[in-house]
């Protein structure tokens, strides 16, 4: 019996041992599987990195183009003022104003006063009191006039026409003084005639003090020439209407004086704007760069005035723009009619 029962007892013990060993292993396996399942379903803890840092990191790694460079704004103000102080454009045939800017404000004409010298002189020629062929002996006073000049010498003799060409083409101060003396006996008497004629033309903004346009030696105690852009259109229209001969002079670039070329002070405009044939430049430091210009296109003539420009280049550029503007305005008006 004992021998027979022993194998059965051993068998029971082996089964019990195996069962007890398998239970913990299965439990461990179940626990491990449960932990793995829990890890898959449980969200990972939130990052402690600040949002701004995350955003910056994302930008740096995901951006394909570098950030735009910031341009510093200039602290200097843009000067949008026109390169002159006064301007106007008129139809020469009727005086209709096509454009104006500060056209009635006082301004120093500088050498543009010589247009009045020429007008008065040619009116006397027309009356027959003098002739363009008259010979004029240069006085000591005329020879001492400075600024832009043809360097007249005391005792030299020239015809009135020669001196007027020097006045209108190369803006000679000494020639203007010599003409004024010849016509009226003295510059002072001639200036009186200039102001009388200005009043007759309705140049209410104008006061002349000399015939050459130079500034006074002492500005604190002496007056200077004064006019306006508008008044100069009145003078220009009268001069061109009465004496178109002037345009033959002001458009010329091959006149001579003492067998030397007379340099036309308006040569830049003559060379760069088709149809221009005049009229008069003016400059000194206090006045700035001035120009009364005239041109024709399609049978129409206009007159422009620029005063107080900063330099010759700005004066030229502004004048060309104003002339173009004037012709465009006239053309537009004709189409609308």
- Mind listing the pLDDT tens digit for each residue in 206-242? 999 999 999 987 666 579 999 999 999 999 999 999 9
Dihedrals φ, ψ of 33, to 5°?
A: -65, -40
Segment 321-330 shows an average pLDDT of 96
Listed by start position, the domains of the chain span 86-336
Q: What is the pLDDT of residue 294?
A: 98
75 catalytic residue (yes or no): no
What is the residue-averaged pLDDT of the chain?
A: 83
Pick the catalytic residue from 38, 64, 72, 114: 114
Kindly report which listed range (12-16, 137-141, 256-260, 320-324) carries the lowest average pLDDT score: 12-16
Pick the catalytic residue from 44, 72, 93, 111: 111
77 catalytic residue (yes or no): no
Superfamily of domain 86-336: DD-peptidase/beta-lactamase superfamily (3.40.710.10)
Spatial distance between the Cα atoms of 158 and 137, rounded to a whole number of angstroms:
7
171 catalytic residue (yes or no): yes
55-65: per-residue pLDDT in tens? 333 333 344 44
159 - beta bridge partners? 135
229-283: per-residue pLDDT in tens? 999 999 999 999 999 999 999 999 999 999 999 999 999 999 999 999 999 999 9
The pTM score is 0.76
Pick the catalytic residue from 68, 72, 76, 171: 171
Spatial distance between the Cα atoms of 87 and 289, rounded to a whole number of angstroms:
12
């Amino acid at each position: 019996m004992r021998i027979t029962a022993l194998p059965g007892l051993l068998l029971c013990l082996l089964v019990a041992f195996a069962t007890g060993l398998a239970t913990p292993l299965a439990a461990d396996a179940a626990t491990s599987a449960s932990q793995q399942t829990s890890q898959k379903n449980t969200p990972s803890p939130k990052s402690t990195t600040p949002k701004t840092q995350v955003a910056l990191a994302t930008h740096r790694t995901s951006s394909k183009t570098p950030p735009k460079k910031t341009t510093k704004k200039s602290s200097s103000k843009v000067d949008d003022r026109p390169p002159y102080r006064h301007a106007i454009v008129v139809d020469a045939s009727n005086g209709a104003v096509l454009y104006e800017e500060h056209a009635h404000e006082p301004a120093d004409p500088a050498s543009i006063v010589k247009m009045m010298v020429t007008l008065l002189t040619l009116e006397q020629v027309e009356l027959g009191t003098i002739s363009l062929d008259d010979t004029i002996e240069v006085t000591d006073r005329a020879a001492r006039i400075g600024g832009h000049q043809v360097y007249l010498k005391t005792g030299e003799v020239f015809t009135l026409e020669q001196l007027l060409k020097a006045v209108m083409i190369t803006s000679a101060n000494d020639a203007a003084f010599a003409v004024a003396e010849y016509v009226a006996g003295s510059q002072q008497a001639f200036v009186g005639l200039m102001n009388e004629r200005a009043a007759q033309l309705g140049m209410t903004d104008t006061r002349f003090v000399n015939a050459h346009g130079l500034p006074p030696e002492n500005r604190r105690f002496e007056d200077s020439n004064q006019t306006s852009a508008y008044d100069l259109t009145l003078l220009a229209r009268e001069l061109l209407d009465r004496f178109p001969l002037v345009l033959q002079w002001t458009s010329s670039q091959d006149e001579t004086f003492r067998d030397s070329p007379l340099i036309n002070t308006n040569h830049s405009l003559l060379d760069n704007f088709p149809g221009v044939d005049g009229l008069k430049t003016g400059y000194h430091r206090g006045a700035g760069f001035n120009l009364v210009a005239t041109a024709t296109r399609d049978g129409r003539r206009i007159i422009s005035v620029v005063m107080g420009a900063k330099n010759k280049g700005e004066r030229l550029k502004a004048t060309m723009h104003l002339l173009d503007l004037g012709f465009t305005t006239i053309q537009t008006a004709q189409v609308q009619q």
